[in-house]
Amino acid sequence: MTKTMLVTGGAGFIGSNFIRFVLKKTGFKGRVINLDKLTYAGLRENLHDIELRFGGKRYFFIKGDICDSKKVNIIIKKYAVSVIVNFAAETHVDRSIHGPKDFIETNINGVFNLLECARANWKDRKDVRFHHISTDEVFGSLVKTGRFTETTPYDPRSPYSASKAASDHLVRAYFHTYGLPVTISNCSNNYGPYQHPEKLIPLALFKAVAGEGIPVYGDGGNTRDWLFVEDHCRAVWLIINKGKAGKTYNVGGNCEKKNLETIKALCLALEKIRPRAKNPALKGRRYEDLITFVKDRPGHDRRYAIDSGKIKKALGWKPLFGFNKGLEATVAWYLVYSAHLKKTVDASYRAWLKKNYTER
């Protein structure tokens, strides 16, 4: 029988990169079903190339909600799904502060529904896998030293991270209680092609190219551990294939940067590829001159850093993209696909941004 993988949230940033990675770079011979609700963050066109090459044969797009048990059950049965990889989520911390309801609905109830559907269809099968994509934000905020390991106690501090923490607990509970073969990965901040421009790196790029202020929250000293998205995709692929059921793996770039450093590195990468002299929107300014300090995010976690020792040792994973290489690839992609990005930045997003950012 053909192996079929159900990827949820595959029209978003990491999910679309993952589907492209699986179908083009792993030698996987089976089918991929992409179930995505197409919220403001999802764009079917993110996988246009994949639809052209594999559509109707090994790639199937289905518009739908992970909370819809009827639809999920039909998909699992009809396509004989034996692997579920759950990327579907509401993902933007700032949005979770302004309106947490959708986060509870998708990130908690949606995951609960997926687990129930998997359990009902797979029963006691052990040749199946439910992989849940999570975040390092469930561990809370670090002080100056130390890194998150798989045994760091959960301490989520935003509605987003709290909803992800709840879903992680549910996934683990289904392993312990029902024996469902699950794995979880908790990853640090990703960057790369197809990321929605509400997140720091594409937002800063978008603003810089347009010659507009690049908003830096607070003092710019908050630290994130950056990972190029393809390195994350490879980690997930390894976990699905070689990871042990019931286990959690932390995935990080070993690439801690203060936000200000990240933005300055981005400005340098941009200057290399599109020098300011060739960008009339700059009006003679340097990209860095656009940095604008704005009001801080409430409850802004100060520092995240991941210890990836376990996945390195157990599965032989390590990041292959250095920060500068990954940033240059991202900037180059952005400049080629800026029309695509403009489409992503649709009217509703522009309105949201205007409402929530002008007062900062």
Task: Report residue 251: phi and psi, to 5°.
Answer: -130, 120
Residue identified by tokens 């699905």 is 240
Q: Is position 216 an interface residue for ligand TYD (rule: CB under 6 A)? A: yes
DSSP state of 287: G
Helix axes 323-336, 200-210, angle to 10 degrees: 50
Residues facing residue 83 across a β-bridge: 5, 129
Say if strands 227-228 and 190-191 run parallel, antiparallel, or are unpaired. parallel
Residues in contact with ligand NAD by the rule CB under 6 A = 8-9, 11-15, 36-39, 41-42, 65-67, 87-91, 106, 110, 133, 135, 164, 187, 189-190, 196
167 makes contact, choosing from ligand NAD, ligand TYD, none, with CB < 5 to 8 Å by partner type, with: none
- Minimum CB separation of residue 293 from ligand TYD in Å reads 9
Q: Which stretch binds ligand TYD (CB under 6 A): 112-120, 209-217, 227-235, 243-251?
A: 209-217
How big is the site for ligand TYD, counted in residues (CB under 6 A)? 12
93 makes contact, choosing from ligand TYD, ligand NAD, none, with CB < 5 to 8 Å by partner type, with: ligand TYD
Show contacts of 71-76: CB within 8 Å, 24+ apart: 71/35, 72/35, 72/113, 72/114, 72/117, 73/117, 73/120, 73/121, 75/6, 75/33, 75/35, 76/6, 76/117, 76/118, 76/121
* Core vs surface per residue 57-88: b (16+ CB within 10 A) or e: ebbbbbebbbbbeebbbebbeebebbbbbbbb
Question: Residue from 23, 138, 203, 291 that binds ligand TYD (CB under 6 A)?
Answer: 203
The catalytic residues are 136-137, 160
Question: Residue from 131, 157, 164, 199 that binds ligand TYD (CB under 6 A)?
Answer: 199
224 makes contact, choosing from ligand TYD, ligand NAD, none, with CB < 5 to 8 Å by partner type, with: ligand TYD
Q: Is position 189 an interface residue for ligand TYD (rule: CB under 6 A)? A: yes
- Minimum CB separation of residue 62 from ligand NAD in Å reads 10
Return residues touching ligand TYD (CB under 6 A): 93, 189, 199-200, 203, 215-217, 222, 224, 259, 297
